[in-house]
Structure 1
């Protein structure tokens, strides 16, 4: 079970993502800014963005996030130059009838020294499909997330 008491602050430009916020596909097209409120982070972090419920799609797995020293809306921002192990791609739920909201979960983990994608998960990370995140956490030596958040995008929202 994954438990965290801290919210990951997710910003798409000036749009602040509160848990479960419904946004347009176009709002979440570019990689967001990530931060935390209410805790002081030091060290290096790994961010995963996972889409559900129609299977598990890895929308991002970005390493080497560190505190930037900057703030936005009271949030201490994190930054990375990494585009790996899996670069960001925005939500793109399929057109469905009836329309159905798809959830996109952000999980921020403390990154172990010498982090590498475990061999058993390289295929799922490269293909971005079917990743078992709980098994990935165990195999990669990650702890529980230090912060989490999620947003929703309506299926068929092509704007």
Structure 2
């Protein structure tokens, strides 16, 4: 009986995490992410070719107001590339409720293409293949948000972004919602950025 109780608690703990194990910050509320008609459940393994264009995002069961900031961060999985740093795949500001829904999701949209435009996952070739994590974080956007001067090179260079430090420097509160997907090498074409 005690075994089942402990196992249930462990299962519940993993069920609520919307970010990969060991990723900071950890978030418990799901950001709805759609690539076309494909809904991304946290940790879904998907082909690179399916995530080349920016997704539709939103939330279910809540009506948001105000403006929001979306970050997408690539983090290598296991294997030889696991020691590579993080990559900023997108940092888009001014997301706001659109008044539209997709499969019950209250869709958020933005016309912004920055501070860092979206580019899709492109993990490097590796043997054996290991899934790489791509984490979406939705933050409430502070009034007059701007990339802090000490973070401008990390954002423009995209490599090695330290998100907890960025959050502190930019005055961001913890993310409200998150999600992540996994992509591994295999259907890759050469890309300028790889993570």
Provide closer, same or farther for how the CA distance between residues 10 and 120 of structure 1 changes in structure 2, counting only shifts above 3 A. Answer: same
Give the alignment's Cα RMSD to 1 decimal.
1.1
Instruction: State the shift of 1:72 in Å.
Output: 0.5
| Structure 2 partner of 1:117 | 147
| Structure 1 partner of 2:130 | 100
Deviates more, 1:136-145 or 1:3-12: 3-12
Instruction: State the shift of 1:154 in Å.
Output: 1.1
Query: What is the distance in 2 between the residues matched to 1:4 and 1:38?
Result: 17
CA contact (8 A) 1:99 1:154 kept: yes
1:94-122 CA-to-partner distances (Å, cap 9, x unmatched) read 00000010000000000000000011110
| Structure 2 partner of 1:23 | 46
| Structure 2 partner of 1:56 | 86
> Within 5 Å, which residues of 2 pair with 1:1-159?
2-53=25-76, 54-158=84-188
Instruction: State the shift of 1:3 in Å.
Output: 4.1
| Structure 1 partner of 2:18 | none
3-state SS of 2:48 partner? coil
Instruction: State the shift of 1:10 in Å.
Output: 0.4
1:12-66 CA-to-partner distances (Å, cap 9, x unmatched) read 0001000000000010000000111122211000000000023100000000000
Query: What is the distance in 1 between the residues matched to 2:136 and 2:26?
Result: 13
3-state SS of 1:27 partner? helix
Q: How many residues are paired up?
A: 159
Q: Which has the higher strand share?
A: 1
Query: What is the distance in 1 between the residues matched to 2:128 and 2:55?
Result: 29
Q: TM-score, normalised by structure 1?
A: 0.96
Q: TM-score, normalised by structure 2?
A: 0.79
* Unmatched tracts of structure 1, length 5 or more: none
Q: Name which one, 1 or 2, has greater alpha-carbon Rg.
A: 2
| Structure 1 outlier segments of 4+, above 6 Å | none
| Structure 1 partner of 2:6 | none
Query: What is the distance in 1 between the residues matched to 2:115 and 2:129?
Result: 32
